Amino acid sequence: MPRLVFKGLVVSQGVVEGTLLVIRRADLLGHLPGGEPEDVEAEASRLRKACRVLRERLEELAGILPESERGVVEAQLLMLDSLASEAEELVRGERVRAEHAVKRVYEKYAELLESGGELFALRAQDLRDLARRLVSQLLEDSTAVPDYRGRVVVAEELDPIEFMEAFSLGALGAVTRTGGLTSHVSILARLRGIPYMISKDLDVSLLRDGDWAILDCVSGQLLVEPSEAERERYRALAAELEELVRLYTREAHLDPLTADGVRVEVVCNAGSIEDIRAAPDYGCGGVGLFRIEFAYMVRGEAPVEEELYEILRRGLGLLTGKPLTVRAPDIGGDKPVGFLELPREPNPQLGVRGTRLLLKHKEKLLRPFVRASLRAAVEGDLRLMFPMVSSVEEVEELVGFVKEEAESMEAEGVAVRLPKLGVMVEVPSAAILVRELVERGGLSFISFGTNDLTQYVLAADRGSPYVSHIYDELSPAVLRLVKYAAERVRGRAEIEVCGEMASRGLAVPLLVGLGVNALSVAPAFVGRVKYVIRRVRWEELSREVPRLVEQASTSREIREWIQSYLSSTGVKVFD
């Protein structure tokens, strides 16, 4: 067949080659049998039995997984219980077949989730995976387990059960058309070091089982029926990368000191308790960004203080003394929740979200979160960070609220501790006013959210393929703003970066040279980031990088300089 190339987003690095296994599946949720059940009790019993069989399968899977991976299955089990319980209510209350009840519950929550941001849309996909599995069990649709040995799996989507089955049975790597960096499958791929890529261009109708393919999860492409020269080149790359991965693994648990002895902390981003549980195994020096939005999803009421306190207490316990930086819930705008009626906005990214929503709904959102944080801070090194801040007035109001709540709780006899307070620098106004934010708010740290900062500086939606050539974290405009802000607060507050930029090998020396004190990255990238940090010299970078950022006119010039610098120091990176 003709040679094909599909480009995509690398989730987990590696280079593998083998024959394709193309997974095609019927849309079970779209073609369900009609009619009412003759016996409602029998139908409810059929649903419970199917749920029990699926639960046993998930529990069996959890039992054979390493502890760091069990959290993914535990999350699936919680979703399964909720899905089945609500579906049974429909079977009894409206006399519908179990398959239709499952589909209706899925659609109810999927519509809400898919209208939100990426993280919410990925949870909708997880919910669909479970609904499809449960319906398959109800229909007793059994298919033979494929021969995964030595295969590169390609599919529209994979659910976590399929993914773990495939790689426990010898699959080499995977490409899917849908998914995201924070999906359960992506988490599993990173935890297990399995090459995995998401390609929006993937067309499985063009592929056949048995086609030879190279999956390049370094530069992000799937090559189908490559030439012999390409195969030789990739075999060499695979060997080189394999050696680098071994080096990264060794570096992950070493101190993040530059070659001239300056410490740059490497901490991790986490989106769930299971992420925090895995963090120490990757060499994380703590958690620099704990996204707590998962506690607010798919529910009819906001989480209460006690629930939030328990989440934070558990997180601190898992880190055993290392810092946990929790971001106040960044919801609203394009991330709706079921318990708040939010306005439909033409441009939700610039609307009521983050801090704006917290201040608008203090009783439902801010107060329970702040009270839980103040209590949990007694248990360990908790740090509190507010998102989407754009003015000094917002910081003054937030900090004042936290301090008033602490005084009120102490008067009630509740044990509390005021944590270190900080803000995310995600919008240009926050970067420009950063010294005033720190001084007027008494802040201990700032954290650049470079994903949003880049899109706001360049007016380029980071999720749009039409302006992807404009969206560039190494743009001189973005870097000059980071430089300006860092210089304004140096010595007054800790400077951190928690966006994707922090994990890029080319960007690490730039951030070190601009005076960043800590980088917060996905756990899988800790070793790579430390590898770069430990081979560069702070004294040299702090002199050269500011000059480069001021003088460069294009991101190309910045890339060329940093590639030359890294080459001169013997550092190899694959970005």
Binding residues for Mg(2+): 426, 452
**What residues have CB less than 8 Å from 393, skipping those under 6 apart?**
none
Establish whether 31 is a catalytic residue: no
Catalytic-labelled residue, pool 51, 184, 284, 361: 184
Query: 7 - beta bridge partners?
Result: 221
**What residues have CB less than 8 Å from 244, skipping those under 6 apart?**
531, 572, 574
Evaluate whether 537 touches 571 at the Cβ level (below 8 Å).
no
38 C-beta neighbours (distance < 10 Å), count: 8
Sheet harboring 221-224: ordered strands across?
4-7, 221-224, 212-217, 14-23, 151-155, 173-176, 196-198, 9-12
The two three-digit tokens of residue 30, written as one number = 């779209």
Beta strands in 397-461, from DSSP E residues, in sequence order? 420-425, 445-448
Q: What is the rounded distance in angstroms from the CA atom of residue 410 to the CA atom of residue 380? A: 18
Q: What is the rounded distance in angstroms from the CA atom of residue 434 to the CA atom of residue 135? A: 53
Q: What is the rounded distance in angstroms from the CA atom of residue 2 to the CA atom of residue 226? A: 9
Q: Angle 67-295-63 (CA atoms, 0-180°, nearest 5)?
A: 20
Using alpha carbons, select from 375, 386, 396 the residue that is nearest to residue 326: 386
**What residues have CB less than 8 Å from 376, skipping those under 6 apart?**
309, 312, 313, 316, 382
Using alpha carbons, select from 288, 283, 320 the residue that is nearest to residue 534: 283
Report the relative pairing of strands 420-425 and 382-386 from DSSP bridges: parallel
- Annotated binding-site residue numbers for phosphoenolpyruvate: 291, 327, 451-452, 462
Catalytic-labelled residue, pool 51, 217, 284, 498: 498
Q: What is the rounded distance in angstroms from the CA atom of residue 445 to the CA atom of residue 493? A: 5
Q: What is the rounded distance in angstroms from the CA atom of residue 88 to the CA atom of residue 45? A: 9
**Which three-class secondary structure state does DSSP give residue 535?**
coil
> How far apart are the two ends of the chain, measured CA to CA in Å?
30
**Phi and psi, residue 413, nearest 5°:** 85, 15
Distances (CA, A) of 233 to 214, 236, 237, 391: 11, 5, 6, 52
Tell me which DSSP letter residue 58 carries: H
Establish whether 253 is a catalytic residue: no
Evaluate whether 323 touches 360 at the Cβ level (below 8 Å).
no
Q: Residue 55: is it exposed, middle or buried by C-beta count within 10 angstroms (0-12/13-18/19+)?
A: middle
Rg for the chain, CA atoms, rounded: 25
- Annotated binding-site residue numbers: 291, 327, 426, 451-452, 462
What residues are labeled active site? Answer: 184, 498
